[in-house]
Amino acid sequence: MYDVIVCGAGPAGSVAATVLSRGGARVLLLDRARFPRPKLCGDTMNPGTVAILRRLGLTAGFEPSALPVDGMIVTGERGVCVRAAYEGAARGLAIERRALDAALLQAAVAAGARVEEGVLVRGPLIETTGRAARVRGIVTAATCACPRRSSSPPTAGGRGSRRRSDWRASRGVRGDGRSARTSRTSRT
């Protein structure tokens, strides 16, 4: 039994898992991918994002290999081009998401979160008692039968088995980006 299951280990999910684990919660962080994995992105972080990650002490794992960014140039159709510089000494960072996301995931592990990669979240685990239905956890399936690489020992029915697994927790956090399988399923 976990206090929180975080679905999706992109920046949102990994940072949420880190903060919750540091606060003493028992956290399970799930992702269908295996890290490091590529992610379509412009690979830049604005100064506000960098400031938040610094405040949380999460930049050490990637900042040495990142490039400073002092603004942006946005181009569009018919030669439209807008240049904007960040104010004063503010700087963003550019780094491949493959490296950024892996570093943030590693920070979640270091904070105590259990990470399971190659696990597809299918939707919420709903239990019905009388007329009341409550979300009790998450239903998952393995995405492939590759060897395990997780921060914890294997669990029966977990990744590698292709079978459905139920993971229980009192809270869930959606970090599955635009795919939002958890939210679509919870509405049905």
Q: How far is the CB of 99 from ligand FAD (least distance, A)?
A: 13
Cβ proximity to ligand FAD, 42 vs 130, nearer residue: 42
Q: Min. distance of Cβ 92 from ligand FAD in angstroms?
A: 9
Q: Where does residue 174 rank: exposed (0-12), middle (13-18), buried (19+ CB within 10 A)?
A: middle
Residue 8 or 61 with smaller CB distance to ligand FAD: 8
Which residues sit at the interface with ligand FAD, rule CB under 6 A? 7-13, 30-33, 39-45, 120-121, 175-177, 179, 181
**Which residue, 61 or 175, is less far from ligand FAD as judged by CB?**
175
With respect to ligand FAD, which residue has the nearer C-beta, 9 or 27? 9
Contact of 107 with 29, CB cutoff 8 Å: no
Q: How far is the CB of 134 from ligand FAD (least distance, A)?
A: 21
Burial of residue 171 (CB within 10 Å: 0-12, 13-18, 19+) is middle
Strand order in the sheet with 67-69: 44-45, 92-94, 67-69
Of 139, 142, 141, which is closest to residue 123 (Cα–Cα)? 139
Instruction: Tell me the closest approach of the beta carbon of residue 1 to ligand FAD, in angstroms.
Output: 20
